[in-house]
Chain A
Amino acid sequence: MTTGPGGEPVQLLTPRGERLADARYDGYLADVDGDAGAEVLEGLYEDLVVVRRIDAEATALQRQGELALWPPFLGQEAAQIGSGRALREDDFVFSSYRENAVAYCRGVDVGDMMRVWRGCANAGWDPFSVNMAPTQVIIGAQTLHATGYAMGIQFDGADSAAITYFGDGATSQGDLNESMVFAASFQAPVVFFCQNNQWAISEPVGLQAHVPVAHRAPGFGIPSVRVDGNDVLACLAVTREALERARSGNGPSFIEAVTYRMGPHTTADDPTRYRDANELEDWRERDPISRLEAHLDSRGLLDEGLRGRVRAKADDVAARLREETVHMPDPPASAVFEHVYTGPNSELDRQRDHYGLYLAGLEAGHGHGHAAAEREGAQ
């Protein structure tokens, strides 16, 4: 397992924004440290601010009844942006439900991002248009899909990679452990990216991991690294290293990004019931955005121009997100029968017909109801 000096997670940017030299990882940040570094850093800064705004707007929309549920990623922006921006277009992402900042990196439209959370679709986007699988709610199941996909890449002889995102809670699931066995056995080009946000809903990570979760991977024969998950540069560097390993035929990697879920597990959760506010204060001091701001400032890059530009972009994205969400048409009831099978299925056809008759039966007693339902369906 790789760690920073003193066994701490790898850190390349301190909470005060100082860039730490690192013999192993500096090579992966040549673009950041080079002449055009300002542009890269500003891009990462914009990403962090915009996705935080997406998160805030979605949370507000849930409170306003426009979304059924939302899993905030507040505090985890650097882990998602750092790793997400390390990916190539032909890599494939298999995430859980919290990686909406990764989805943003993949180019998922913010409106599409909300469709599942409004209950309007089973999947918000076409997985193959952005090379990111639909939101996975079953804990850890996506790690199997990623490993299988990576084995497919191997059979194809391509040099792309699969990356799978999961939380600290998923490390206790059989699926992840089975995935790691297969990934190691077949030396599949897959990156296991664990966002250890300290809490599996209300269970602290210490209850399910007596040693850091990154310790487990070497037991499977998978090299691992603990990284400061609130350090966007460190997350970028370690993910690039892992992807390079995958592309060069050297098999899987395991990354534990040590971060913190600043908000609730989902909008239906109240973290103040199980965790100490002092903990929140401690992590606030390690905020991923203020850290990059401090660094930009120290390089003389954080002027009003940049701030204003980024703010305007965030405002624009938030407004579009809201607009698209509140005007999202409700799917017709019959949509529940779509996408169950890829082709026709007689049993499903029978169910669809019966359901149609049932609905017609409900509407028959209500002339107005029928018309209203048709309007709904037509939207």
Chain B
Amino acid sequence: MSETVHAGTPGAPATVIREFRLPDLGEGLTESEIVAWHVAAGDRVTLNQVIAEVETAKAVVEVPSPYTGTVVELLAEPGTTVAVGTPIVSFEVPADAVRPPSRAGSAGGGAPAPRREPNLVGYGAVVEGTGRPARRSRAWAAPAPEAERGEGEPTTEPAAVEPAVEPSEAAPVVERGEAESRPRPERPRSTPPVRKLAKDLGVDLVGLTGTGPGGLITRDDVLAALGAGAGRTEAEGERAAEAGPAVVRAAGERETRTPIKGVRKHTAAAMVASAFTAPQASEFLTVDVTPSMDLLARLRESRAFAHLKLTPLTLVAKAVLIGLARNPTLNSHWDEGAQEIVQYHYVNLGIAAATPRGLVVPNVKDADAMTLAELAEAIADLAATARDGHTRPADLSGGTISITNIGVFGIDAGTPILHPGEAAIIAVGQVRRLPWEFEGQVALRQVMTISLTFDHRLVDGEQASRFLADVGAILADPGMVLTMV
């Protein structure tokens, strides 16, 4: 943490600006993503008031304010990934209210606080520079005087003595402030076998950009430099090497690599688990849903549904619930561990939602016991909560079957993959006006395709087909419900 002391206007108490650096919120994390700020510049905050939500590789955690004071500036945008140790917010706090923490150096004191590098647990040693540690050169001869020197005595060995060594080995002496802000030129790091390879091939390591951990030059880097530099002058080779592997996207870069993490990683794991444990089969049914759309229009005008968000999805969800009552095997679970089939006598209906943080599938608990109005409200709530990123873990677990609405993206049909542990998932396509057979003639009708994927261990084609036909029949003629319940 760094600070500046403000004398303040006469009569007003002096204040101090304090920066808050992103801490290692788990054990051994190097970065975290700022999910949201709960405060803005100018806000008064109290100690331990939640100011931000931060997602690490391990958890989404709330960050409490370390001070009582005023937020001066938010230094990191939501959605950005920030390295541990980077200032993320600054506060103005009364100078007399807090003694500066020991790690922040002395208040208003001369030397800036030494900056620390995060390591596995918390903060490690003072950063000595951005390159490798300034290891004492080989020219350093006698350790004796060093050892004899008194503990508190400052070093008297002049830095100017250092040039006695070969330039590539010398660690140039840089003022601390400079050392933090710019990398110092030195021979890039490499391992002895790689240095030998480079020497054998006649490749000069100076000027190479290492792609290994911490900028280490690898065998591949040497070989690549050899290929790139063939028949060129050394200077050209150097430029080519500089233009080579880089972290920041250069013009014309053909691919960008992003670490797999967060919701994406979770989604991938769930999809892989689903795809490689359950043998999945899909069926499609295209239905003339004009009567359902007419019903929807009438319901929207009725007083009971006036305040609700009724969509084709709501009707499909209701049709699915009615269909499940007649075809319960689609609402079951294959318990591999127990070697049992679990038949649910309730339906927790999952609704896939695309959120800024990725795909989540919250579910409506006991949806089968709900009226259409309750169902509409529950689905709307779930979707709104998911979009805001506030879905509760309880809403994400315990689902028994899912619906994914691909129609909102203007898609007709697809093959959804099962939500792990569930026996079926229904994809709802868009409602399109198409020329369609109607009462023996071709008419412009509202048509929708319903896609169904099922776990073939649990569900046979017959049961899946009956279920899908039921759902289709209801949507084609909502009055058919009278024959089903």
Give min CB distance, A269 to chain B, whole Å: 7
User: Does A9 count as interface, using CB distance less than 8 angstroms?
Assistant: no
Interface positions of A from 29 to 64, Cβ below 8 Å from B? 56-57, 60, 62-64
CB-based contact A379/B397 at 8 Å: no
Given A64-B63, A64-B64, A364-B146, A328:B21 Cβ within 8 A: no
CA distance in complex: A377, B114 (Å): 13
CB-based contact A364/B140 at 8 Å: yes
Chain B 160-198, CB-CB to A under 8 Å as 1, else 0, gives 001000000001010110000000000000000000000
Given A276-B394, A276-B398, A277-B392, A364:B136 Cβ within 8 A: yes
Chain B 388-399, CB-CB to A under 8 Å as 1, else 0, gives 000011100110
Q: Which residues of B contact A328 (CB under 8 A)?
A: 102
Stretch with Cβ within 8 A of B (4 or more), from A252-260, A284-292, A353-361: A353-361
CB-based contact B133/A368 at 8 Å: no
Stretch with Cβ within 8 A of A (4 or more), from B118-126, B203-211, B245-253, B311-319: B118-126
User: Does A212 count as interface, using CB distance less than 8 angstroms?
Assistant: no
CA distance in complex: A326, B398 (Å): 43
Give min CB distance, A313 to chain B, whole Å: 18
Q: Which residues of A contact B96 (CB under 8 A)?
A: none
Give min CB distance, B139 to chain A, whole Å: 11
Give min CB distance, A261 to chain B, whole Å: 15
Chain B, residue nearest A59 (CB):
B64
Q: Which of B59, B135, B140 contacts A264 (CB 8 A)?
A: B59
Q: Which residues of A contact B27 (CB under 8 A)?
A: 68-69, 266, 268
User: Does A306 count as interface, using CB distance less than 8 angstroms?
Assistant: no
User: Does A311 count as interface, using CB distance less than 8 angstroms?
Assistant: no
Q: Which residues of A contact B171 (CB under 8 A)?
A: 365
Q: Which of B25, B58, B152 contacts A63 (CB 8 A)?
A: B25
CB-based contact B393/A66 at 8 Å: no
Interface positions of B from 76 to 127, Cβ below 8 Å from A? 99, 101-103, 111, 114, 121-123, 125-126
Q: Which of A64, A322, A370 contacts B155 (CB 8 A)?
A: A370
Given A65-B21, A69-B27, A267-B25, A368:B176 Cβ within 8 A: yes
CA distance in complex: A69, B27 (Å): 7
13 A–B contacts, CB within 8 A, in A order: A65-B21, A65-B22, A270-B58, A273-B59, A277-B397, A360-B147, A365-B137, A367-B173, A368-B111, A371-B111, A372-B126, A374-B151, A378-B152
* Shortest 3 CB-CB contacts between residues of A and residues of B: A65-B23, A270-B59, A361-B136
Q: Which residues of B contact A64 (CB under 8 A)?
A: 20, 23, 63-64, 66
User: Does B48 count as interface, using CB distance less than 8 angstroms?
Assistant: yes
User: Does A137 count as interface, using CB distance less than 8 angstroms?
Assistant: no
User: Does B62 count as interface, using CB distance less than 8 angstroms?
Assistant: yes
CA distance in complex: A324, B392 (Å): 36
Q: Which residues of A contact B20 (CB under 8 A)?
A: 64
User: Does B61 count as interface, using CB distance less than 8 angstroms?
Assistant: yes
Q: Which residues of A contact B140 (CB under 8 A)?
A: 361, 364
Give min CB distance, B27 to chain A, whole Å: 4
CB-based contact A367/B154 at 8 Å: yes
Q: Which of A270, A322, A333 contacts B60 (CB 8 A)?
A: A270
Q: Which residues of B contact A329 (CB under 8 A)?
A: 102
User: Does B283 count as interface, using CB distance less than 8 angstroms?
Assistant: no
User: Does A349 count as interface, using CB distance less than 8 angstroms?
Assistant: no
CB-based contact A268/B26 at 8 Å: yes
Q: Which residues of A contact B175 (CB under 8 A)?
A: 368
User: Which of A323, A356, A369, A378 is packed against the most chain B CB atoms within 10 Å?
Assistant: A369
Give min CB distance, A24 to chain B, whole Å: 39
Residues of B in contact with A, size category: 35 or more
CB-based contact A269/B59 at 8 Å: yes
Q: Which residues of B contact A353 (CB under 8 A)?
A: 147
Q: Which residues of B contact A118 (CB under 8 A)?
A: 122
Q: Which of A63, A326, A372, A374 contacts B102 (CB 8 A)?
A: A326
Q: Which residues of A contact B408 (CB under 8 A)?
A: none
CA distance in complex: A56, B123 (Å): 22
CA distance in complex: A326, B152 (Å): 25
Q: Which of A268, A278, A367, A376 contacts B58 (CB 8 A)?
A: A268
Give min CB distance, A69 to chain B, whole Å: 6
Given A330-B103, A368-B175, A360:B146 Cβ within 8 A: yes
CA distance in complex: A376, B114 (Å): 9
Not counting A62-B25, A357-B146, A364-B134, a sample of 13 additional A-B residue pairs whose C-beta atoms are within 8 angstroms of each other reads A63-B62, A64-B20, A65-B22, A65-B122, A65-B123, A119-B121, A273-B59, A276-B398, A356-B147, A361-B135, A361-B136, A365-B134, A365-B162
CA distance in complex: A333, B22 (Å): 24
CB-based contact B59/A374 at 8 Å: no
CA distance in complex: A360, B147 (Å): 8
Q: Which residues of B contact A373 (CB under 8 A)?
A: 126
CB-based contact A63/B147 at 8 Å: no
User: Does A210 count as interface, using CB distance less than 8 angstroms?
Assistant: no
Give min CB distance, A123 to chain B, whole Å: 16
CB-based contact B393/A272 at 8 Å: yes
User: Does A363 count as interface, using CB distance less than 8 angstroms?
Assistant: yes
CA distance in complex: A329, B125 (Å): 14
Give min CB distance, A65 to chain B, whole Å: 3
CA distance in complex: A257, B394 (Å): 27
User: Does B24 count as interface, using CB distance less than 8 angstroms?
Assistant: yes
User: Does A335 count as interface, using CB distance less than 8 angstroms?
Assistant: no
CA distance in complex: A179, B128 (Å): 48
Chain A, residue nearest B104 (CB):
A326
User: Does B157 count as interface, using CB distance less than 8 angstroms?
Assistant: yes
CA distance in complex: A64, B126 (Å): 19
CA distance in complex: A371, B27 (Å): 30
CA distance in complex: A377, B58 (Å): 34
CB-based contact A68/B101 at 8 Å: no
Give min CB distance, B454 to chain A, whole Å: 26
Q: Which residues of B contact A333 (CB under 8 A)?
A: 125
CA distance in complex: A264, B56 (Å): 15
CA distance in complex: A371, B171 (Å): 18
Q: Which residues of A contact B133 (CB under 8 A)?
A: 362
User: Which of A266, A333, A372 is packed against the most chain B CB atoms within 10 Å?
Assistant: A372
CA distance in complex: A219, B60 (Å): 44
Give min CB distance, B484 to chain A, whole Å: 32
User: Does B159 count as interface, using CB distance less than 8 angstroms?
Assistant: yes
User: Does B10 count as interface, using CB distance less than 8 angstroms?
Assistant: no
CA distance in complex: A331, B155 (Å): 21
Given A64-B63, A366-B134, A357:B147 Cβ within 8 A: yes
User: Does B259 count as interface, using CB distance less than 8 angstroms?
Assistant: no
CA distance in complex: A357, B143 (Å): 7
Given A68-B121, A272-B393, A369:B102 Cβ within 8 A: no
User: Which of B22, B61, B155 is packed against the most chain A CB atoms within 10 Å?
Assistant: B155
Q: Which of B24, B60, B128 contacts A68 (CB 8 A)?
A: B24
Give min CB distance, A318 to chain B, whole Å: 9
Q: Which residues of B contact A63 (CB under 8 A)?
A: 23, 25, 61-64
CA distance in complex: A367, B21 (Å): 27
Q: Which residues of A contact B21 (CB under 8 A)?
A: 65
Give min CB distance, B376 to chain A, whole Å: 24
CA distance in complex: A269, B66 (Å): 21
Chain A 180-208, CB-CB to B under 8 Å as 1, else 0, gives 00000000000000000000000000000
Chain B 447-468, CB-CB to A under 8 Å as 1, else 0, gives 0000000000000000000000
Q: Which residues of A contact B147 (CB under 8 A)?
A: 353, 356-357, 360
Chain B, residue nearest A275 (CB):
B393
